[in-house]
Structure 1
């Protein structure tokens, strides 16, 4: 089912945006209005759809900048739900909380879902879709939330907001445990990362296509978006072969993915706009820090150097 036709949206490019710069992070110092404006003006010539991960203070600034500066972006707004159960299978040892913290997280999640609804109604011309969580059901997550609870979140948002509702998750859970959720959401959102699964760049777009088709085959009556797909440019070897990541490979995957997206008319939110040094471990080559199409100082990596030169 064609996503853009179903929701009466124009086809355009999409990117994941989180604007935390050096010395900033969620729960700490956040980007200022001026910094967010600088980012959005940098992104505006290349992308129409932006994905925001949480209805937090940073997202509030983004919405304010778009509204006040009359920028043409359309937003997929998410609520970043936190652990409501322990996940003893988390490979890096996260995901273990005491009962008091889990109880607090449940309360915080309810509040976030309400904020998602409120902001959807406050910015109906900017926010075009709503996500009730991010990678909270996959086996390796450190913020596990039961599927039944995510179903409840989706149903609650659908009752009180007009935008289509989804849940952003790795493609694997959609093949089994998320079937009850698939029937509730308005569209399915999958994440596909060939490089995390030790695929070479020459295998990448075929692997992404296979991931998409596996989910689409199960749910032919549902529209599907790719809400994360990207290619890191550095790695210390933690989960990603350092020989597979560099700016040339990122450029190749981006080009292939955008051609695939346009040919199949599938929305693809490339991960991500900017590098974020707060992520992952302290190691400077930690792969979590190096997914951006731009560096943390906002200078363009190879793929965007070519795009900017073409634009000029």
Structure 2
């Protein structure tokens, strides 16, 4: 089958056939060691075998994304039936972000313009692959204290990209958004309900919102605690019920954003730009904290959010494809290192054991290692490590 590569964001977003995921291919403890094009191609084959057809990336400051686009274009040339599209992110910062100096959230970084220029150049070069441009990642939410900017900065760059589309310098069917926390899009605290946010919602092609019940198991735990009427449930039932509440929590945050957008008289799609569940944590989500992070719960959440989003025709860029150890390099058991569906040993986590059983990864390897199951596929061992949510 020869793929029609003229599909647009409108065609693929919200289409259950086009599963989405967040992707970083870094294997080492530093991003100074970039994945090779061959490694990126191997990753793309693995993700394709999982049914993934849209990737989300986060910045064009490093060589990974340009090389990723080369890798996908090579796979397209080698196999006319291969299909993979990209939501390409441009990283946005405030002045003094990550510098050791006090961040100035009222002024944007002087590096933003170059980042946008690089993203535009790649979108022009690979129009059959890059279908979405995202200005910033969690760049407006106030808890991103190292780097957040005001909505007017995101609005400025979204307007810039929309003007390039109107002038024919970018494809007219390329969709432009920003990917941010549900609250930043008006789905929570009214402090975010600013005139600039309303202008931004009117300017983007769709809203890309994030929701993380796992993090909220620590920060807003009311939904997570086992209620009194479930005290006599078995441990497994308590976990299952907790995961159902986690799904409902995510759906409620999605609904909050969707309702705010509609309240403005705006009719635009809302998709999930990020959600996920870590399999390990030695911090606030682990055994000494909210007891949320383990592989059984992660697998349950993956399946529940996929079922819900497919049914609702909402794209869900699940976070994330593979474990990456650079994110908390000094703390190997930190949760940020363990959000992947496949670990650094090439083992598929519980969420996708079924794909191993079905033979989807037959003949595929990551760094020369065939894809096998964690826990050697022993469900009893997996369940032994599942943590019981705290009682209310």
Q: 1:229 aligns with which of 270, 275, 287?
A: 275
Match of 1:152 in 2: 156
Question: Using the alignment, how far apart are the partners of 1:74 and 1:135 within structure 2?
Answer: 22
Gapped runs of 5+ residues in structure 1?
87-93
What does 1:257-296 align with in structure 2 at a 5 Å threshold?
257-280=305-328, 282-296=330-344
Structure 1 residue 242: Cα displacement: 5.5
User: Match of 2:200?
Assistant: 181
CA displacement at 1:98 relative to structure 2: 5.6
Q: 1:203 to 1:144 in 2, by over 3 A?
A: same
**Pairing partner for 2:351 from 278, 298, 303:** 303
- State the alpha-carbon separation in 1 of the partners of residues 315 and 25 from structure 2: 21
TM-score by length of 1: 0.89
Cα distance in 2, alignment partners of residues 237 and 149 from structure 1: 33
> Contact 2:9–2:175 at 8 Å: present in 1 too?
no
* Residue matched to 1:91: none
Rg larger in 1 or in 2?
Answer: 2
Q: Does the C-alpha gap of structure 1 residues 6 and 124 become closer, same or farther in structure 2, counting only changes over 3 Å?
A: closer
Q: Structure 1's 5 and 38: CA in aligned 2 closer, same or farther, altered over 3 A?
A: closer
Residue 89 of structure 1 is matched in structure 2 by none
CA contact (8 A) 1:238 1:287 kept: no
Counterpart of 2:22? Answer: 16
Equivalent runs, 1:103-114 vs 2, <5 Å? 106-114=109-117
Task: After TM superposition, give the deviation of residue 17 of structure 1 in Å.
Answer: 0.4
Q: Map residues 186-225 of structure 1 onto 2, 5 A cutoff.
A: 186-198=205-217, 199=224, 200-220=242-262, 221-225=267-271
Partner residue, 1:29: 33
Paired with 2:259 and 2:102, the residues of 1 have a C-alpha distance of 40
1:82 pairs with one of 74, 89, 93: 93
5+ long unaligned stretches in structure 2: 1-6, 77-81, 165-169, 187-191, 218-223, 225-241, 361-392
1:83 to partner: Cα distance: 2.6
Secondary structure of 2:49's partner? Answer: coil
* 8 Å CA contact 1:201, 1:244 repeated in 2: no
How big is each residue's C-alpha offset from its partner over 1:64-88, in whole Å with a ceiling of 9 and x where there is no partner?
A: 00001214101100001123366xx
Q: Distance in 2 between matches of 1:215 and 1:5?
A: 24
Contact (CA 8 Å) 2:95, 2:103: kept in 1 or not?
Answer: no
Deviation for aligned residue 1:239: 5.5
Q: Report if the CA contact (8 A) 1:131-1:166 is conserved.
A: yes
**SS state at 1:159 partner:** helix
- Counterpart residue number, 2:368: none
Q: Which of 294, 308, 312 matches 1:246?
A: 294
Give distance in 2, aligned partners of 1:18 and 1:73: 15
- With normalisation by structure 2, the TM-score equals 0.71
Q: Secondary structure at the match of 1:243?
A: coil
Q: Which residue of 1 aligns with 2:57?
A: 52
Partners in 2 of 1:136 and 1:96 — Cα distance? 18
- Give the 3-state SS of the residue equivalent to 1:274 in structure 2: coil
Q: Rate the CA distance shift 1:78–1:190 in 2: closer, same or farther, 3 A.
A: same
